[in-house]
Amino acid sequence: MRRHEVTDQAWAVIGPLLAPPRMGRPVRDRRQVFNGILWKLSTGAAWRDLPERYGPWKTVYERFRRWSADGTWDRLLAHVQQHSDAVGEVDWSIVCVDSTVVRAHQHAAGARKGGSGPGEALGRSRGGLSTKIHLACDGQGRPLAFTITGGNVNDCTQFEPVMARIAIKRDGPGRPRTRPDRVAGDKGYSSRKIRAYLRRRGIACTIPERTDQISGRRRRGETLCRLDRTAYRRRNVVERCFNKLKQNKALATRYDKRARHYQALVTLACLRLWLPTDIADTP
């Protein structure tokens, strides 16, 4: 087993969901293809540079493209999260939200029109083209949900879409779990709309107010929002989560033209953080 390849323990969790069809011609080993995609995620290299041990690069790419289109990566992530929640490994005491900007390589621009969304989640700022990942993670720093946008999109506009994506199914009957006990975020999420949204859902809010908001409340004689500083110190788990995700070079710099392909890589990177001991220790 080589570095970045899925271990037997992790494959036992996701392998059954990638079982080959019962009819049709024989297909290439699913685990070999999956490891090839992991190699691409970890190194950020071009598909054409895929090592021969993973099979023809075009076969691996076509499988990645197909699984990205049919929602396979989302199903794998949802399955692993459900399994972890069933054994009590998901920390619902607090969910931390934040975003990170990813610089887009020059090859990421120029996709044909008619793709998955406006601008293919590319935004132009002072640093050039970039993409932003908006993420929510549990109290242990494991990703629960995310969205991707252009790098010039404000964080607070994606708060509700990210929270709406948190839905972990239960093993037995009942609705998926969607509400944590508390949500923590930085000042970029301080708005009346977000606080009202959390209040309606019965979720405690740990978001500090901006200086201008504090000054306005004092002028109007209003009470300042109370901040639980002990809970706010736990917000750094989302920063550590981004650090782990960006160890994958295909995420640290965006090379994909299509937003759906980059989103699939982010989903796969999130999946790896949930899998048990997914990286081999051997070189």
As a whole number of angstroms, the distance between CA 276 and CA 271 comes to 10
pLDDT at 279: 43
283 in a structural domain: no
> Number of folded domains in the chain?
1
281 in a structural domain: no
Neighbouring C-alpha atoms within 13 Å toward the C-beta of 100: 19
**Would you give the DSSP letter of residue 168?**
B
* DSSP per-residue string spanning 193-245: HHHHHHHHTT-EEE-PPPHHHHHHHHHHTPPPPP--HHHHGGGHHHHHHHHHH
pLDDT at 113: 64
As a whole number of angstroms, the distance between CA 39 and CA 47 comes to 10
Residue 7, token pair as written in the block: 């271990």
- Given a cut of 60, whether residue 17 has pLDDT beyond it is yes
114 in a structural domain: yes
As a whole number of angstroms, the distance between CA 45 and CA 231 comes to 40
3-state secondary structure of 94: coil
CATH number, domain with residue 239:
3.30.420.10
- Given a cut of 80, whether residue 127 has pLDDT beyond it is no
In 3D space, the residue among 130, 19, 35, 17 whose CA is nearest the CA of residue 74 turns out to be: 17
Question: Which residue's structure tokens are 């990703």?
Answer: 143
46 in a structural domain: yes
Separation of first and last alpha carbons in the chain: 8
63 in a structural domain: yes
Helix (H) or strand (E) holding 90: none
> Among 22-31, 50-59, 254-263, which is the least confidently predicted range?
22-31
pLDDT at 178: 94
Global pTM? 0.90
Contact assessment for residue 206 and residue 97, using Cβ atoms and an 8 Å cutoff: no
Q: Bridge-partner residues for 130, per DSSP?
A: 103, 123
pLDDT at 52: 93
280 in a structural domain: no
Distances (CA, A) of 19 to 4, 11, 16, 28, 121: 21, 11, 5, 11, 32
Residue 151, token pair as written in the block: 């790098």
In 3D space, the residue among 282, 274, 280, 283 whose CA is nearest the CA of residue 84 turns out to be: 274
279 in a structural domain: no
**Residues spanned by the domain of 204:** 8-18+27-274
282 in a structural domain: no
Strand ranges in 119-222 using DSSP code E only, listed in sequence order: 123-125, 128-137, 143-150, 182-184, 204-206
- How do residues 143-197 score in pLDDT, each as one tens digit? 999 999 999 999 999 999 999 999 999 888 889 999 999 999 999 999 999 999 9
In 3D space, the residue among 199, 208, 250 whose CA is nearest the CA of residue 228 turns out to be: 208
